[in-house]
Amino acid sequence: MIRAATPADVPAIAALIRQLAEYERLTHTVVFTETDLHQHLFGERPYAEVLVAEEVGAIVGFALFFHNYSTFRGKPGIYLEDLFVIPAARGRGYGKALLRAIAQLAVERGCARVEWSVLNWNAPAIAFYQSLGAEPLTEWTVYRLTDTALDRLARS
C-alpha cells in the first residue's frame, strides 16, 4: 500500500534515509536529525512531502519529493529527491507504485514533469527508470553549492 507519510512515520523515514545513504556509499554526508526532518516535512512551512510503501504494516520504502517550477513550460514540476525500497522488499512493485503515485500527483496538480537524479554507477536504478519510459538528460550537468562555498557566496 502507498500512502502519504504522517508525523508518526518520521523515525521510519529517517531509518530508510540512512539505509539509502549506506547503499549510495554516502553515510559520511548524513547529518540530519529526526527533529529537523519532522519540522521540514510537517512544520509550519513544509519543504517536502513523503509517500511511504507499507507491507503488512511495516514501512518498506519511501519517496521524498517537492515542487519546482519550469519557466519554459510555465508550470510546476515535481522533483523526486529520494526513492528507496529496502532490499528485502525489492522486486515486489513498491518502487513502481511509489513512482506511479508521484506521477498521479503530478497530473492532478497540473505539473509539466517529474525529474530526479541517479548516480551514474547505479545500473539497477537506471534500468528500472528506463523501463518506465524515463530518459536521461545527458546535455545537463548538475551543480551544487554547499557548506563553505554556500556561506562564502551568501556573504559576498
Q: Which residues carry out catalysis?
A: 129
- Cα dist from 16 to 74, 87, 154, whole Å: 34, 11, 32
* Distance of alpha carbon 42 from alpha carbon 48, whole angstroms: 9
Q: Describe the chain by its helix, strand, coil percentages, rounded to 5.
A: 40, 25, 35
Q: Specify whether the CB–CB gap between 14 and 37 falls below 8 A.
A: yes
- Cα dist from 108 to 50, 68, 83, 85, 103, whole Å: 16, 15, 20, 25, 9
Coil, helix or strand at residue 37:
helix
Residue (of 8, 98, 34, 100) closest to 61 by Cα position: 98
First to last CA, the chain: 48
